């Protein structure tokens, strides 16, 4: 197991899971299941519907649109 800190969007994941009580995979599913497709539309939706902060919403959307766990 690597002891290196996560970079990019993944660096937000521990605090997202702790603060909002959902695993990252669940957030990915919500984003993928949305009828929205544009980055900032998805960010605004997560903020409005789930009360996420901008940085957390942005990190989740970026990660998901870049392939997320399916791209690994």
**Segment 4-60, tens digit of pLDDT:** 457 788 899 999 999 999 999 999 999 999 999 999 999 999 999 999 999 999 999
What pTM did the predictor assign? 0.86
Tell me the C-alpha to C-alpha distance, in Å, between residue 31 and each of 2, 3, 4, 20, 62.
28, 29, 28, 15, 10
The residue with greater pLDDT, 3 or 46, is 46
Would you state the torsion angle of the CA atoms of residues 37, 49, 52, 69, taken in this order, to the nearest 10 degrees? Answer: -40
Determine contact, residues 64/27, Cβ cutoff 8 Å.
Answer: yes
pLDDT of res. 69: 75
């Amino acid at each position: 197991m690597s002891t290196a800190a996560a970079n990019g969007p993944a660096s937000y994941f521990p605090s997202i899971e702790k603060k909002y009580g959902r695993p990252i995979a669940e957030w990915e599913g919500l984003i993928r299941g949305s009828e929205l497709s544009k980055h900032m539309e998805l960010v605004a939706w997560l903020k409005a519907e789930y009360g996420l902060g901008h940085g957390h919403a942005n990190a989740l959307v970026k990660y998901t649109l870049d392939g997320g766990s399916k791209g690994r």
